[in-house]
């Protein structure tokens, strides 16, 4: 009788253990058998980025999440967190390498701290124009860069964009490099951006975007550089930014990315759907940016920002030229330049 009781207890305990092991995960980063085979398990995954919920970064993610949820019959749900709610771009990228963040869309500048080859994309004036940049990114060079991401535990889903970066400040209109002399400018955490603004005579102060607004409001920095949509959506005119010079010094490439650790946890059939929908997010997002750019410039102007649109770019290009020879990945840089000859 006693033995029977123990056997029953043991059986119940084993049942509980098995149930816990197979439990469906609803907690964010998922769990799975990891053998790539199909199962009925559901996955609740997290996507993060640094911009508001009406920015194309977010809208692109929402569309991707909806399509994935529909095509997987609800087996993959993606929660999208805007405004650096689960981390700024550098932290989010690190999170992907560790497997604590599942998806991220970020401009390439901070990702370069993890994948050094990406430095070539943030070299000022490296792309003739947006169309040429997209052609290069969606070709062999872009594929090779995605392979470098993969070496670092990140899967590149698609190339997106942040837009052309322009300089805003609260001191004077910037029309030539000399106007930047001594200006304290917030830059992204990226060596090339820092070197570029040093070459232009400014005083670059790298910081995450999460600190930039306070930095501008408190006068820690006088200037910043970002696309018009960012300046508009963060109402930078309320942070002492009176002038925007359309320097377009960097075509700010962005990437929709996924943690390889997350990918490895998904069954084969779900992986395929996620990759397919992830590949669509970038092109769709780029279309939205182009549509919104002019409207943002108009809104900035309506809010008192003086837009300096007839900037002569040549002296800016000349001032940053010495940076080209300092790029570590010269072969890659030359490939990009040669592709535009």
| Binding-site ranges for ligand PAF (CB under 6 A) | 50-51, 89, 107, 162, 188, 209, 226, 230, 252
Q: Is 106 exposed, middle or buried (0-12, 13-18, 19+ CB in 10 A)?
A: buried
Residue 166 pairs in a beta bridge with 226
Enter the DSSP assignment of 113: T
76 or 149, CB closer to ligand PAF?
149
Please give the angle made by the CA atoms of 135, 136 and 142, to the nearest 5 degrees: 120
Name the residue among 221, 228, 235 with its Cα closest to residue 170: 221
The encoded tokens of residue 265 equal 């946890």
104 or 120, CB closer to ligand PAF?
104
**What are the strands, taking DSSP E only, across the chain?**
43-48, 76-81, 103-107, 154-169, 184-187, 203-206, 223-226, 243-259, 306-308
Residues whose CB is less than 8 angstroms from the CB of residue 96 and which lie 6 or more positions away in sequence, other chains included: 102, 103, 104, 153, 154, 257, 258, 259
Please give the angle made by the CA atoms of 183, 185 and 189, to the nearest 5 degrees: 150
167 or 332, CB closer to ligand PAF?
167
Provide, rounded to whole angstroms, the least separation between the CB of residue 170 and ligand PAF.
Answer: 17
100 or 188, CB closer to ligand PAF?
188
CA distance 93 to 290: 25
Provide, rounded to whole angstroms, the least separation between the CB of residue 159 and ligand PAF.
Answer: 14
Provide, rounded to whole angstroms, the least separation between the CB of residue 227 and ligand PAF.
Answer: 7
Provide, rounded to whole angstroms, the least separation between the CB of residue 107 and ligand PAF.
Answer: 4
Provide, rounded to whole angstroms, the least separation between the CB of residue 85 and ligand PAF.
Answer: 13
229 or 273, CB closer to ligand PAF?
229
The tally of CA atoms less than 13 A away on the side-chain side of residue 51 is 26
The encoded tokens of residue 241 equal 């930014």
CA distance 103 to 260: 10
203 or 335, CB closer to ligand PAF?
203
The encoded tokens of residue 315 equal 């002296």
Provide, rounded to whole angstroms, the least separation between the CB of residue 52 and ligand PAF.
Answer: 10
Provide, rounded to whole angstroms, the least separation between the CB of residue 147 and ligand PAF.
Answer: 23
57 or 263, CB closer to ligand PAF?
57
């Amino acid at each position: 009788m006693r033995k029977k009781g123990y056997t029953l207890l043991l059986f119940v305990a084993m049942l509980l253990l098995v149930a816990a092991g197979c439990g469906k995960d609803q907690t964010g980063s998922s769990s799975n058998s990891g053998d790539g085979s199909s199962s009925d398990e559901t996955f609740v995954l997290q996507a993060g980025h640094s911009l508001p919920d009406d920015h194309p970064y977010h809208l692109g993610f929402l569309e991707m999440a909806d399509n994935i949820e529909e095509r997987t019959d609800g087996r993959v749900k993606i929660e999208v967190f805007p405004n650096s709610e689960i981390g700024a771009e550098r932290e989010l990228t690190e999170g992907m390498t560790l497997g604590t963040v599942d998806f991220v869309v970020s401009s390439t500048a901070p990702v370069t701290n993890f994948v050094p080859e990406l430095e070539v994309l943030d070299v000022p004036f490296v792309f003739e124009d947006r169309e040429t940049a997209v052609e290069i990114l969606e070709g062999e060079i872009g594929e090779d860069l995605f392979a470098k991401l993969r070496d670092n535990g990140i899967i590149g889903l698609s190339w997106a964009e942040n837009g052309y970066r322009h300089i805003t400040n609260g001191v004077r209109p910037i029309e030539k490099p000399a106007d930047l002399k001594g200006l304290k400018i917030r830059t992204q955490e990226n060596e090339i951006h820092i070197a570029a603004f040093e070459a232009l005579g400014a005083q670059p102060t790298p910081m995450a975007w999460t600190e930039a607004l306070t930095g501008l409001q408190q006068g820690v920095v006088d200037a910043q550089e970002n696309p018009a949509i960012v300046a508009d959506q963060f109402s930078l005119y309320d942070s002492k930014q009176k002038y925007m010079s359309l320097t377009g010094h960097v075509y700010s490439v962005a990437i929709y990315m996924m943690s390889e650790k997350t990918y490895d946890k998904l069954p084969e059939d779900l992986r395929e759907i996620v990759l397919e929908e992830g590949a669509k997010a970038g092109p769709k997002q780029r279309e939205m940016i182009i549509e919104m750019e002019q409207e943002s410039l108009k809104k900035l102007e309506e809010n008192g920002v003086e837009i300096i649109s007839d900037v002569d770019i040549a002296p800016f290009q000349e001032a940053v030229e010495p940076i080209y020879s300092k790029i570590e990945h010269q072969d890659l840089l030359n490939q990009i330049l040669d592709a535009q000859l």
